[in-house]
């Protein structure tokens, strides 16, 4: 099959000859998978190197901003990349994102102080966020609807692999080379991806006139930026007793209300509010929010349990999380193939959300001496649930809207998942911090018990998130219904 122009959706008949990618489409898929892999990996690869970076650059007090800067910019730029990709074509947007990511990576490796590193991490995030959403939407430009689940399963596998291998690779690089190589390693991979995109991707079809919602983009970026800062900094950096967190929250809400008013009037809104009247689209975004919050908000602190309570080394605790990867990889690929073969997907998010909830409940029963097989089994269960759920939510949102809005649909689900994760980490981190503050000195046993108490509460709240996601999955419509309705969009 020859990839079509980016503005034309590939045919989606279930009665076509067996679908095969030609060499050009295979190169495009390789560029997409590599882009997603190294952008996702960069979200976690820095975590193991943070103590070394703080020591070398003498900036321990500014360390949280190294993570927050990337998280902030990669999140808030998602809707903008999604909309611009729909309007001007995804090829130039993907190239711009790769270039920004490469420049940010190369310069971050050369940073001489924490301020430089923070600014360059923010630049990396602008490229990384664009890479994830534009690459994911690009699959829809040359893969038919009927086959999309199979290839988005590969994307889910690549994303999960990159997320979990990041800390392991980061630890290896810091130990054997230098923390600067955490950033330098992106450069050759990015150059290859950029070259393939430039050569294999077709030129986008030019539109006579493009109406860009500049005001909406500014208001959305500002409101999301302030909301991410509120979620990331309130508690550990900005005390809840001070007025600043609440000023940030109030400002974010006011700007969001102004954004909603703007979107109602613009002919090409950056985030069409009418999409949320579509049942499956609205529930896909909501489920992504709760799954993102449950997953990142709880699992982010599991290494603390493994290292502090159980005495694992950082490397061993990272290896323990590979059990999560096994379940996620196997089920992402398996579910994608099944969806492409049967044209039905609804069973996967329903079953996946139930498994996620069950796994989180198992984690909420952790004790100081929980058997290792119990933890590994819960991680595998959680990975299987995530593999059955995450990429299906993108697929369901994409099928709900017309092809010309695919970028917006992809970006919206990604945005809700990212915001759920950000708010989840902030909320659960704040709860855990409350327990950590009451840890008595010179009493390791009491310290371990309090950490377990805090984690049990975090996982208990994550179960509620999982139940909310599970409830939402029952309102998703089946794939063949959406495909038939989409023909009339």
pLDDT in tens, 439-455: 666 667 777 888 888 88
Say which residue, 387 or 428, is predicted with more confidence.
387
Amino acid 357: pLDDT: 94
Q: Does the pLDDT value for residue 208 go beyond 60?
A: no
Q: What integer pLDDT is reported at residue 475 of this predicted model? A: 92
State residue 349's pLDDT score. Answer: 92
Return the closest-CA partner of residue 110 out of 57, 50, 40, 170: 57
CA–CA gap between residue 212 and residue 87 (Å, rounded):
8
Query: How large is the average pLDDT for residues 427-443?
Result: 69
**Cα–Cα distance for residue pair 81/91, rounded to 1 Å:** 11
Helix axes 78-88, 406-437, angle to 10 degrees: 170
Q: How confident is the model at residue 468 (pLDDT cuts 50, 70, 90)?
A: very high
Cα angle value 136/422/435 (rounded, 5°): 150
Tokens 């050759």 belong to which residue?
188
**pLDDT on residue 166:** 75
- pLDDT exceeds cutoff 60 at 458: yes
CA contacts within 13 A on the Cβ side of 79: 28
pLDDT confidence of residue 479: 80
- d(CA 168, CA 159) in angstroms, rounded, equals 15
How many helices and strands (H and E) does the chain possess? 20, 0
pLDDT of the residue at 14:
44
Q: Is 3 left (phi over 0), alpha (psi -120 to 50) or beta?
A: beta
Cα–Cα distance list, 162 to 20, 45, 185, 269, 278 (Å) = 26, 9, 14, 33, 32
| Alpha carbon distance 162, 171 (integer Å) | 14
Judge contact between 407 and 86, C-beta under 8 A.
yes
Q: 141: which 2 tokens?
A: 């430009």
Provide the pLDDT for residue 235: 67
pLDDT at 130 over 60: yes
Note the pLDDT tens digit of each residue in 273-292: 888 888 999 999 999 999 98
Nearest to 148 by CA among 324, 397, 477, 489: 397
Phi/psi of residue 234, nearest 5 degrees:
-70, 130
**Distance between first and last Cα of the chain:** 25
Residue-averaged pLDDT of the chain: 80
Residue 143 — left, alpha, or beta (φ > 0 → left; ψ -120 to 50 → alpha)? beta
pLDDT over threshold 80, residue 157: no
Enter the tokens of residue 462: 């994550």
Dist CA 456 CA 233 (whole Å) = 23
**DSSP element (H, E) containing 128:** helix 114-138
pLDDT at 294: 83
Tokens 């605790």, residue?
Answer: 317
What is the spatial distance between Cα 41 and Cα 165, in angstroms, rounded to a whole number? 7
Return the bridge partners of 238, or none: 234
Which of 285 and 480 is assigned the larger pLDDT?
285
- Which of 2-6, 275-279, 291-295 is predicted with the least confidence, judged by mean pLDDT? 2-6
Residue 106 confidence (pLDDT) above 80: yes
49-67: average pLDDT: 73
> Is residue 383 within 8 Å of residue 159, measured between CB atoms?
no
Q: 369 by DSSP, 3-state: which?
A: coil
Per DSSP, the three-state class of 234 is strand
Q: Is 487 helix (H, G, I), strand (E, B) or coil?
A: coil
Is pLDDT of 63 > 50? yes
What average pLDDT score do residues 477-489 get? Answer: 73
pLDDT at 257: 92
Other C-beta atoms lying within 10 Å of the C-beta of residue 184: 16
How far is the C-alpha of 152 from the C-alpha of 104, rounded, in Å? Answer: 28
Q: 374, 361 in Cβ contact below 8 A?
A: no
Whether residue 466 has pLDDT greater than 70: yes
Joined tokens for residue 52: 């070394």
CA distance 366 to 114: 37
Q: Residue length, the chain?
A: 489
**Does the pLDDT at position 12 exceed 60?**
no
Mean pLDDT score, 152-170: 73
Residues 486 and 399 sit within 8 Å (Cβ to Cβ): yes
pLDDT at 3: 42
Lowest-confidence pick of 362-376, 378-392, 394-408: 394-408
| pLDDT confidence of residue 441 | 65
Higher-confidence residue of 293 and 233: namely 293
13 — pLDDT class (breaks 50, 70, 90): very low
Task: Report the pLDDT value the prediction gives residue 2, as an integer from 0 to 100.
Answer: 42
Confidence of residue 353 (pLDDT cuts 50, 70, 90): very high
The residue ranking higher by pLDDT, 270 or 287, is 287
Give the confidence band of 488 by pLDDT, cuts at 50, 70, 90. Answer: low
Tally Cβ neighbours within 10 Å of residue 111: 20
Cα Rg of the chain, angstroms: 22
| Ranges 31-45, 250-264, 288-302: which has the least confidence | 31-45
Neighbours of 425 (CB within 10 A): 22
- Give the mean pLDDT of 366-394: 89
């Amino acid at each position: 099959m020859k990839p079509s122009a980016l503005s034309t959706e590939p045919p989606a008949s279930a009665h076509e000859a067996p679908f095969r990618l030609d060499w050009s489409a295979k190169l495009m898929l390789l560029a997409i998978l590599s882009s997603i892999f190294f952008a996702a990996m960069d979200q976690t690869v820095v975590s193991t190197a943070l103590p070394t970076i703080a020591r070398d650059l003498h900036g321990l007090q500014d360390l949280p901003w190294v993570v927050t800067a990337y998280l902030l910019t990669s999140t808030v730029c998602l809707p903008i990349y999604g909309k611009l990709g729909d309007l001007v074509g995804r090829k130039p947007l993907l190239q711009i994102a790769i270039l920004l990511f490469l420049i940010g990576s190369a310069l971050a490796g050369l940073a001489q102080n924490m301020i430089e590193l923070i600014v360059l991490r923010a630049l990396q995030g602008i490229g990384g966020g664009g890479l994830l959403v534009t690459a994911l939407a690009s699959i829809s430009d040359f893969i038919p609807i009927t086959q999309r689940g199979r290839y988005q399963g590969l994307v889910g596998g690549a994303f999960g692999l990159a997320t979990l291998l990041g800390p392991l690779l980061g630890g290896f690089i810091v130990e054997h080379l230098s923390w600067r190589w955490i950033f330098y390693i992106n450069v050759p991979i990015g150059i290859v991806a950029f070259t393939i995109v430039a050569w294999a991707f077709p030129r986008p079809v030019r539109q006579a006139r493009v109406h860009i919602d500049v005001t909406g983009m500014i208001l959305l970026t500002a409101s999301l930026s302030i909301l991410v800062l509120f979620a990331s900094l309130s508690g550990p950096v900005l005390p809840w007793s001070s007025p600043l967190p609440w000023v940030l929250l109030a400002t974010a809400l006011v700007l969001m209300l102004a954004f909603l008013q703007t979107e109602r009037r613009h002919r090409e809104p950056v985030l069409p509010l009418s999409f949320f009247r579509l049942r499956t689209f609205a529930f896909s975004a909501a489920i992504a929010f709760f799954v993102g919050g449950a997953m990142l908000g709880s699992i982010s602190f599991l290494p603390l349990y493994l290292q502090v309570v159980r005495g694992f080394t950082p490397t061993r605790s990272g290896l323990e999380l590979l059990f999560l990867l096994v379940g996620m990889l196997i089920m992402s690929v398996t579910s994608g193939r099944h969806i492409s073969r049967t044209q039905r997907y609804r069973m996967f998010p329903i079953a996946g959300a139930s498994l996620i909830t069950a796994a989180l409940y198992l984690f909420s029963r952790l004790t100081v001496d929980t058997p290792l097989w119990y933890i590994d089994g819960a991680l595998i269960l959680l990975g299987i649930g995530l593999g059955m759920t995450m990429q299906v939510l993108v697929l369901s949102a994409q099928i709900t809207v017309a092809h010309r809005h695919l970028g917006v649909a992809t970006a919206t689900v990604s945005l809700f998942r990212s915001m759920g994760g950000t708010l989840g980490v902030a909320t659960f981190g704040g709860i855990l911090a409350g327990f950590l503050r009451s840890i008595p000195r010179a009493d390791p046993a009491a310290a371990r018990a309090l950490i377990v108490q805090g984690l049990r509460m975090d996982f208990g709240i994550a179960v509620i998130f999982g139940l909310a996601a599970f409830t939402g999955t029952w309102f998703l419509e089946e794939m063949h219904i959406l495909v038939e309705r989409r023909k009339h969009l």
